[in-house]
Amino acid sequence: MIKKRLIFTLLFEKDSFFLSRNFRLQKIGNYDWLKKNYDFSVITESVDEIILLNVSRDENEIQNFCEIIKTFTKECFIPISAGGKISSLDVAKKYIQSGADKLVINSNLFKKNLLKKIANTFGEQSIVGSLDYMNINDNFIFYKKNGSTKINIKTKNIFDTLAKLPIGEIILNSIDMDGTSNGFDFSILKRIPKNFQKPIIYAGGAGNYKHLLDAFKKKEIDSISTANLLNFVGDGLQEARKQLIKKNIKLAKWI
């Protein structure tokens, strides 16, 4: 049986890590703060993957972000996905060469030529498509570029479009629930076609292990990502994983 995955997402800009609430950023601390509050040996045992996102609007921050990727690959012996500012094959190569295992693409998700170049170089499985959305009375509006630009594809067509892209999996991230810690909004799941084959990473709303448990019980969800640094400080991630395994969620047992 294919295992579910618990993923920890970190937002990075100009030497600092950030919390996000409805896509509004709040600075939390630098790498030293992160290391003090999250024992990386525990993180390695608590999650299946880390996603690092470069949320800076400054193109010159790419090299600085690459240094952070390198630092994480030395500290954490689990897969690392990196995203943000992937506008060319050259940037994709820099992230992979810095130690990233996969690439998260949001703003340029529907640029087929770029995706083909990356897929031909690193394989489709190396690309994680990231899709941000808002739920307005059960009508879903999709966005890119940190939630600032609307994507003009209707809900009934979005998953057919995604299915044809050379990508390995999809992140569905709720802007409404982002950083609220109020739990997940599962409304969009009923819009996913039954024959949709790409694995779904669900994000936006996790506040405790019970929220994670509710999400993992959904057959449409393969993985869950949490980006709320304050909800899982100390051994919070480790304890959440233990509780999920006790509830028979099919996570890999690292400890």
Tell me the average pLDDT across 219-244: 87
Rounded mean pLDDT of 188-217? 94
Q: Higher model confidence: residue 6 or residue 3?
A: 6
Tell me what pLDDT residue 254 has: 60
Type of residue numbered 105: I
pLDDT score recorded for residue 100? 98
Query: What three-state secondary structure class fits 200?
Result: strand
Residue 255 has pLDDT above 60, yes or no: no
Please report the domains of the chain, with CATH numbers, ordered by start residue: 5-246 (3.20.20.70)
- First-residue to last-residue Cα distance in the chain: 19
Q: How confident is the model at residue 61 (pLDDT cuts 50, 70, 90)?
A: confident
Q: CB-based burial of residue 173 (10 Å sphere; 0-12 exposed, 13-18 middle, 19+ buried)?
A: buried
Give per-residue pLDDT as tens, 77-86. 899 999 999 9
Q: What digits encode the pLDDT tens for the residues 106-132? A: 999 999 999 999 999 999 999 999 999
Mean pLDDT of 33-58: 86
Q: Which residue has the tokens 């969009």?
A: 188
Active site residue 214: no
pLDDT at 3: 87
pLDDT digits (tens, 9 = 90+) for 140-173: 999 988 888 999 998 889 999 999 999 999 999 9
Left, alpha or beta for 234 (phi > 0: left; psi -120 to 50: alpha)? left
User: 172: which residues sit within 8 A by CB, 6+ positions away?
Assistant: 131, 133, 188, 200, 201, 202, 203, 204
pLDDT of residue 54: 96
Please, which pLDDT band fits residue 237 given cuts at 50, 70 and 90?
confident
The proportion of the chain whose per-residue pLDDT surpasses 90, expressed as a percent, equals 73
Average pLDDT, the chain: 92
- Give dist(CA 76, CA 42) in Å, integer: 10
Rounded distance, CA 101 to CA 197, Å?
Answer: 21
Q: Is the pLDDT of residue 31 over 80?
A: yes
Of the residues 39, 90, 101, 132, only one is catalytic, namely 132
C-beta pairs of 227-232 under 8 Å, 24+ apart in sequence: 227/8, 227/9, 227/10, 227/11, 227/19, 227/20, 227/178, 227/179, 227/203, 228/19, 228/179, 228/181, 229/10, 229/17, 229/19, 229/28, 229/34, 229/37, 230/19, 230/28, 231/181, 231/206, 231/207, 232/8
- Which range is most confident: 8-22, 25-39, 95-109, 219-233? 95-109
Q: What values do phi and psi take at 191, rounded to 5?
A: -90, -5
